[in-house]
Amino acid sequence: MKYTIRQITEGEDEMILQYREMTPEIEHILKLLNKTQTKLTGWVGKNLTVLELNRILYIESVDGKTFAYTKEEVFRLDYLLSSLEQILSGINFFRCSKSMIVNIDKVESLKSLPSNRIDATMCNGEHIIISRTYASAFRKRLKGGVYLG
């Protein structure tokens, strides 16, 4: 696919996407362009706080409660994991197990494990296990493929 990037000094920002056929790759780009959510709200103690998505390392569901983990803090979120999966689908987040969504941009290294699982080391040194159910889709996503299932 060919693309051109040009900075302008005046006028309104504009993106033009030309395609011959709607492919999964084009659909993925359109999802990214239409995605406007860059923040979530979460609780730290009794304080409701705005959380930038790019700070999140991973999101986990524990005992029916959902938490977002950053390098510094843990936020309790008022979302179900399935809702967050939909909200974050066009961004670089990936459902890596039944109870967790990982920020792909915060993964520092990967190691294959027995039973087709993956050990992802996060930028803070924490290890996240990508379950075998999600491992092949994760590998495909890392290779630039668009996983629609």
Question: Is 27 a member of any domain?
Answer: no
CA distances from 52 to 36, 41, 49, 68, 104 (A): 12, 9, 10, 11, 15
- Region 85-98: what's the mean pLDDT? 87
113 pLDDT higher than 80? yes
Neighbours of 71 (CB within 10 A): 13
Look-up of token digits 């930028």: 123
Reading phi first (left if > 0) and then psi (alpha if -120 to 50, else beta), residue 88 is in: alpha
CB atoms within 10 A of CB 58: 21
Single-letter amino acid code for the residue at 90: G
Q: Is residue 28 part of a domain?
A: no
Domain residue limits at 47: 37-142
Q: 121-137 pLDDT, tens per residue? A: 999 999 999 999 999 99
CB atoms within 10 A of CB 34: 8
Query: Phi and psi of 11, rounded to 5°?
Result: 90, 180
Whether 86 maps to a domain, the answer reads: yes
Tens-place pLDDT, residues 6-48: 888 888 877 788 888 888 888 777 777 666 567 899 999 999 9
Among candidate residues 50, 55, 39, the one with its CA nearest the CA of residue 124: 55
User: Residue 125: which CATH number?
Assistant: 2.40.50.1020
- Domain count of the fold of the chain: 1
Asked whether the whole model's pTM tops 0.75, one would answer no
Query: Does residue 88 form part of some domain?
Result: yes
Q: Is residue 44 part of a domain?
A: yes
